[in-house]
């Protein structure tokens, strides 16, 4: 099979591992920088090029699209979909996951366990939204933030109001969430491939920090998750529409809660922590599912 990987950096661990896993199974792997692509929307004959080279005859595409290039990256992926190339994750699912508010609304509609979450536009509604999520302490999140950036803990209602007023005045889009104190700065990253969790790790925030992201100094350990947590992670990925996802879960007194669904989860931490060949499982998923014209949306989303 000919498999394209949309990635800006061929040296990234995740990109290298996917290339290695594909080549080990005798597939032709090609790394394509999405920002070097340009498209031709001809009637009935969509085309894609990179630095003058036609991009055609691929069987599948693996999107590794960073949050900073979501708009253009998903446009490139959508063009591949219209060319009947099988996407590991579809463009419409990626855009759903990157919109934190939209993702929370979709999960909430399906009854998935979540921290209480609030969203408002008018500063006058700030005290009411704080009350809706159970008061302080609470978490304030920039909707555009990634890897723990733009996630802030407000210890008091006064601090929360001041922070939210400031961000609203800067025209930032924010949402507020209940702070799950009993999680004690830890979450669980569940790695979903297809319709099942293939690996899981616990991420513990460093002392004095409540964000457990490995990029922020969190420490990862392999963990065995419960059947309830396993089912929750798989269901969350399915609701967003992702075939490969990192689903972050908090353990609360009310049961497991979904914190976020990531459409481009890194392989470094999860593979090194669990010792599992996640890249190989992604390639195996492609082998089983990459049939011509199987894209659900065909670029319509």
> Which strands make up the sheet holding 151-154, listed edge to edge?
117-118, 174-178, 138-142, 151-154
Mean model confidence pLDDT for the chain: 90
Give the model's pLDDT for residue 172: 87
Residue 300: pLDDT over 50? no
User: b or e along 142-176 (b: 16 or more beta carbons within 10 Å of the residue's beta carbon)?
Assistant: bbbebebebbbbbeebebbbebbeebbeeeeebbb
pLDDT band, residue 12 (cuts 50/70/90): very high
* CB-based contact 244:88 (threshold 8 Å): yes
Q: What is the mean predicted confidence (pLDDT) over 158-165?
A: 92
Q: Which domains does the chain have, with CATH numbers?
A: 2-95 (3.40.50.20), 117-179 (3.30.1490.20), 182-284 (3.30.470.20)
Residue 147: pLDDT over 60? no
* Element spanning 219, H or E: strand 219-222
For residue 256, the Cα-to-chain-centroid distance in whole angstroms is 18
Give the model's pLDDT for residue 143: 83
Lowest mean pLDDT among 85-89, 205-209, 213-217: 213-217
Give the model's pLDDT for residue 21: 98
d(CA 85, CA 190): 27
Pair of tokens at residue 102: 């939209």
Please list the residues that pair with 201 across neighbouring strands. 189, 222
pLDDT band, residue 150 (cuts 50/70/90): confident
pLDDT band, residue 145 (cuts 50/70/90): low
Give the model's pLDDT for residue 89: 97
Q: What is the mean predicted confidence (pLDDT) over 242-268?
A: 95
Give DSSP secondary structure letters for 247-298.
Answer: EEEEEETTEEEEEEEESS--SHHHHHHH---HHHHHHHHHHHH--TT--SST
Kindly report the pTM of this predicted structure: 0.89
């Amino acid at each position: 099979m000919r498999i394209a990987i949309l990635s800006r950096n061929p040296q990234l661990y995740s990109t290298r591992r996917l290339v290695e896993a594909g080549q080990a199974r005798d597939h032709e792997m090609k790394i394509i920088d999405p920002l070097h692509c340009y498209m031709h929307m001809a009637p009935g004959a969509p085309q894609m090029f990179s630095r003058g080279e036609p991009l055609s005859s691929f069987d599948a595409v693996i999107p590794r699209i960073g949050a900073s290039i979501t708009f253009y990256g998903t446009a490139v992926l959508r063009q591949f979909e219209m060319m009947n190339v099988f996407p590991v994750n579809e463009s419409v699912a990626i855009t759903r996951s990157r919109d934190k508010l939209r993702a929370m609304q979709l999960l909430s509609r399906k009854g998935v366990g979540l921290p209480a979450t609030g969203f408002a536009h008018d500063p006058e509604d700030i005290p009411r939204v704080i009350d809706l999520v159970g008061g302080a302490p609470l978490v304030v999140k920039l909707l555009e933030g990634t890897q723990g950036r733009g996630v802030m803990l407000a210890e008091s209602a006064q601090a929360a109001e001041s922070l939210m007023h400031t961000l609203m005045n800067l025209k930032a889009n924010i949402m507020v969430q209940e702070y799950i104190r009993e999680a004690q700065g830890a979450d669980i990253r569940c790695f979903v491939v297809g319709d099942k969790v293939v690996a899981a790790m616990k991420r513990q925030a460093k002392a004095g920090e409540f964000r457990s992201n490995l990029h922020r100094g969190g420490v990862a350990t392999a963990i065995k998750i419960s059947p309830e947590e396993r089912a929750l992670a798989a269901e969350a990925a399915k609701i967003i529409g992702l075939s490969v996802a990192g689903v972050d879960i908090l353990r609360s007194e009310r049961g497991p809660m979904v914190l976020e669904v990531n459409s481009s989860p890194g392989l470094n931490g999860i593979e090194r922590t669990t010792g599992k060949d996640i890249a190989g499982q992604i390639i195996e998923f492609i082998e089983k599912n990459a049939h011509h014209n199987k894209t659900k949306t065909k670029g319509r989303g």
